[in-house]
Amino acid sequence: MKWQSSRRSINIDDRRGMPGGGAAIGGIGSILLALVVALLGGDPSVVLERGVEVGPNDGAPQASSEESDRSAEFVAAVLGETEDTWHSIFQSEFGAPYQEPSLVLYSGATQSACGRGQAAMGPFYCPADQKVYLDTSFFRDLQVRLGAPGDFAQAYVIAHEVGHHVQNLLGVSSQVQRAQQQASETQANELSVRLELQADCFAGVWANRAQRSREILEEGDIEEALNAASQIGDDRLQMEAQGYVTPDSFTHGSSEQRAEWFYRGIETGDINQCNTFDVDRI
């Protein structure tokens, strides 16, 4: 991804190195469960307060200062790209200004309006404070543990979380939440899957529009993002965590679904093609 010349967002809240309190982590099983439940945009309050207390960086390899600075630069550049793209889309499609989210960088653990955020959960979006939360050590996990290397794989993750912010601004998130309160557990999970797949599609729309206006993509970037989407499907994560798959408990979508909806967004660049709630089968 050609991000070095991208405008850096000023909406970065860098809390790395600040005291964040112990992170609630209950071992590998809890880490994988957290990845399944809330890896990309789920409600972090479900698992944030469970487990035993450990230090915010216990057992995690520490990034060098140079690596840490580069990660912060990269995140600011990608967030800036999403801001420019969504400003344009909101103006042209809705005739309204786009309200930019903040992105919190933290190490180990931090507090959000949705509860305590921790590195083991992966990135998440909190609609209560309209902020994306990211421990950049997740980028190493994405490459090493999840088998999804590449800078555009990382950009896809950020764009997906920003997609949840777009859903929040459009009122989609609140509609889904109200519907879930009146639904069975299986139906609520399906609504969650549709919400997540729409965020994947929005990430694809961003990539399409940014490429058209600023030519940010390099050879292999799309494949990196599709691979990342596949690696974080519920079926793959459940198989890794428990050795079997229970589709009725999916909250984010299968590997095939996640890759398919991201590809739909990047192929069309049309936000109207991302209505996952208006199709019988996803």
pLDDT digits (tens, 9 = 90+) for 14-40: 999 887 543 332 333 334 445 544 444
CB 38 within 8 A of CB 243: no
pLDDT of residue 24: 33
Q: What pLDDT digit, counting tens, does each position of 242-258 carry?
A: 999 999 999 999 999 99
pTM value is 0.86
For 100-146, the pLDDT digits (tens) are 999 999 999 999 999 999 988 899 999 999 999 999 899 999 999 99
Supply the pLDDT for residue 68.
Answer: 78
- CA 130 to CA 200: how far, in whole Å? 18
pLDDT of residue 15: 96
Interstrand relation of 131-134 and 124-126 (parallel, antiparallel or unpaired)? antiparallel
Model confidence at 46: pLDDT above 70? no
Flag whether pLDDT at 53 surpasses 70.
no
Who's near 75: CB < 8 A, 6+ residues apart?
Answer: 12, 103, 105, 134, 136, 158
The confidence score (pLDDT) of residue 62 equals 52
Give the pLDDT confidence score for residue 64 in this predicted structure: 56
Quickly tell me which residue has 């957290």 as its tokens: 34
* pLDDT, average across residues 155-184: 98
Q: Mind listing the pLDDT tens digit for each residue in 200-228?
A: 999 999 999 999 999 999 999 999 999 99
Task: List phi, psi (to 5°) of 104.
Answer: -95, 120
Mean of pLDDT values over 223-245: 96
Instruction: Look at residue 159 in the predicted model and tell me its pLDDT.
Output: 98
Phi (first) and psi of residue 115, to 5 degrees: 120, -170
User: Is residue 52 predicted with pLDDT exceeding 50?
Assistant: no
Distance CA 238, CA 232 (A): 10
Average pLDDT, the chain: 87
Is residue 24 within 8 A of residue 116, CB to CB? The reply is yes
Q: Any idea where the domains of the chain sit in the sequence? A: 12-278
- Asked whether residue 66 carries a pLDDT value surpassing 90, the answer given is no
